[in-house]
Structures are given as structure tokens and as C-alpha cells.
Amino acid sequence: MSKKTVANQRQLLQTGPTLSGGPSRTELAKVHIAKRDLKLTDQLYRGVLNVLFGETSARDLSHEQIDELLDHFKSLGWGSEYTKGQATSPSRSTGRGPATMAQLGLIVYLWKHGPGIRNKSTQALEHFLSHHFHIPELKQVKARQVPGVLGAIKNMGKG
């Protein structure tokens, strides 16, 4: 590749918003990197977009929604290369607080649509949480527990 071609491609990646006012290519790239790093299936990823924003594609999100989605992915344990070196606030990094409504919604969505789940009722989900995580009810899940719960639910389909 010529230097001019590489420079043009780099410029395209670094450009801001597209003409339609949607997210930039850089923002979309971050979303898809997070999707890959969190090992989200396409169905689960689109379900997250639907639950959080009522959309099925990141292209349809606004800049603010992309930021919110990336924050949600960070709460699930993802960290982009650009934020790993920065210090986080103590309250955010410990995850001692309750899980957000979006996190709880993702747990319920994965439970209801997971391929390895036979009984998809909320009562069965709460029994699962009680038996495996010693959490008496869904609303008592802590933010730091969400990645483990999601991982356990995803692994149920593999067994």
C-alpha cells in the first residue's frame, strides 16, 4: 500500500460523525471491539441494543447512546486500550453498588433467550442466582457480580 492510501484510510478512521449524524467509524469500531472482547454473540449483542435503546444496529445510535453503550460494556468488565491507563474513580472500580437496570435487563434477556436454559421463568432465574451465587433475588445483584452471572448463564448452553 502506498503512503497516500494509508494516510487516506487513517483520515477516514479518525473522521468525526458521518453525514447522517450517526456514530463515527471510530465509535463503531470501539463498540465492535468491546463486543468481541466480551464474547457476545450477535443475537445477544443485538438484544442488548434493543433492550437499552430500542435499536438493532449501533449505526442507528446517537453519539450519546454510543457513549452510554460503551459505559455499559465497561460495567460488564470491558476496558478499551485508551482507558486502561487512566485512573478510575474508586466507587466505579469496586462495583460495590447495585447492578444497573440495564445490567439486570441483560441478565434477564440472556436467561430468557439462552440456548441452554430449559426453564426460562423469572422464578427459575432467581433459584439459579440463589443456588450458584447466594443471591436471594435478582434486584440484589451487585455490579461486580454481573460478569460472573452472565458468564455462568452463557456457559449453561455449552454443557
Chain segment 38-87, per-residue pLDDT in tens = 888 888 888 888 888 889 999 999 998 999 899 888 877 787 555 444 44
Cell of 98: 447495585
CA neighbor of 46 nearest in space, from 37, 55, 38 = 55
Whole-model pTM over 0.75: no
- Kindly state the greatest CA–CA separation across the chain: 61
Question: Which carries the bigger pLDDT value, residue 41 or residue 2?
Answer: 41
Map residue 142 onto helix, strand or coil: strand
Distance CA 126, CA 136 (A): 7
Q: Position 36: which residue type?
A: R
Distance CA 89, CA 87 (A): 7
CA neighbor of 53 nearest in space, from 33, 31, 37 = 31
In the structure, what pLDDT confidence band is assigned to residue 100 with cuts at 50, 70 and 90? confident
